[in-house]
């Protein structure tokens, strides 16, 4: 009988924790720092592919922190201040990237120094045909120049 009481108590405690946690997630408290970060990320993402459409690497470079890492699939990481220009050149000249789209599914963190963005991307060529798509995980860093991509990791949903 004692064993059943202990099991029941554990079950009730687990259910209490589960429901308490679910309720907290359904009613998140407002975080002005995180909301500011989300707005800055959405603005940066809306500008990102203009760099390829216009052939202007400076637009692309400005999305990244000076100490960034860009981590493409099946290739070494590109690190530091020169990484965005190197990546832009590869994407523009080698792969023919001319436009794209980000679909952000979540941004989380405290919004003070770093936040994480999760989502999907699509890449389009000069004829506006999608030639690749996949998922991404970006760690954003708040810098004196605003929110910048600090670690950018992505992979394709296709076998190459």
**H and E: helices and strands count for the chain:** 5, 6
What does the alpha-carbon distance between residue 78 and residue 81 come to, in Å, rounded to a whole number? 9
What sections of the chain are H helices per DSSP? 2-26, 32-48, 50-54, 57-61, 83-89
User: pLDDT by residue (tens digit) across 68-115?
Assistant: 999 999 999 999 999 999 999 999 999 999 999 999 999 999 999 999
| Percent of the chain surpassing pLDDT 70 | 81
Do residues 92 and 103 share a domain? Answer: yes
pLDDT of residue 15: 46
Do residues 147 and 107 share a domain? Answer: yes
Residues 6+ positions from 76 with CB-CB distance below 8 Å: none
Do residues 40 and 103 share a domain? Answer: yes
Residue 3 pLDDT > 70: no
Do residues 53 and 84 share a domain? Answer: yes
pTM of the entire structure? 0.80
Do residues 26 and 40 share a domain? Answer: no
Q: What is the mean pLDDT of the chain?
A: 88
Residue 18 pLDDT > 50: no
Give residue 113's domain range. Answer: 32-156
pLDDT of residue 22: 45
> How many domains, in total, are found in the chain?
2
Neighbours of 78 (CB within 10 A): 19
Do residues 7 and 70 share a domain? Answer: no
Do residues 20 and 80 share a domain? Answer: no
The size of the chain, in residues, is: 160
Do residues 60 and 81 share a domain? Answer: yes
């Amino acid at each position: 009988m004692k064993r059943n009481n202990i099991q029941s108590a554990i079950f009730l405690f687990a259910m209490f924790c589960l429901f308490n946690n679910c309720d907290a997630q359904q009613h998140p408290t407002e975080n002005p720092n995180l909301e500011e970060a989300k707005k800055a990320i959405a603005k940066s993402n809306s500008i990102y592919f203009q760099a390829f459409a216009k052939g202007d690497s400076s637009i692309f470079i400005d999305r990244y922190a000076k100490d960034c890492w860009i981590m493409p699939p099946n290739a070494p990481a590109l690190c530091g201040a020169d990484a965005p220009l190197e990546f832009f050149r590869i994407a523009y000249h080698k792969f023919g990237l001319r436009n794209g789209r980000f679909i952000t599914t979540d941004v989380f963190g405290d919004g003070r120094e770093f936040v994480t963005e999760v989502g999907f991307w699509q890449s389009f060529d000069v004829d506006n045909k999608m030639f690749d798509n996949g998922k991404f995980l970006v760690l954003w860093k708040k810098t004196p120049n605003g929110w910048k991509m600090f670690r950018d990791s992505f992979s394709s949903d296709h076998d190459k």
